[in-house]
Amino acid sequence: MGRPAPAHRVEFELPDGRTRAVRVREDEHVLGAARRAGLVLPSLCEQGWDLACAVRVLQGELDHGDARRYYAEDERAGFALICTAKARSDLRLCTHQAAAMRRHRDARELPAPRGT
């Protein structure tokens, strides 16, 4: 059996002001790990396309390689789609950022669904 993938501490800042920390392995998506820990976060396509699961990255690094539609501008602006993002360091994430990420995409004339 191979060694387990390294894990990182991921702290979620929730809209009600609470924070919740979970361990996320490098070989799993952040949303899946959060869900396994009992944290219910918004999501829809779960393929890194729509913005339902958007977060703002307050601290740390993610791998966005599994996302189906994610732009360099998104990363520069500090947004991530955690349904397909993998932790590459300890992280602090602000959840429920779909509307903010859509405004960011609109400002840069980048495509985004409108209903999430």
Binding residues (CB under 8 A) for other proteins: these are: 43-50, 68-69, 111-116
68, 32 contact by CB (below 8 A): no
Q: Residue 2 burial (CB < 10 Å; 0-12/13-18/19+)?
A: exposed
Q: How far apart are CA 58 and CA 110, in angstroms?
A: 22
Nearest residue (CB) to other proteins, 8 versus 102: 102
**From the CB of 11, what's the least distance to other proteins, in Å?**
27
Nearest residue (CB) to other proteins, 28 versus 116: 116
Nearest residue (CB) to other proteins, 54 versus 91: 54
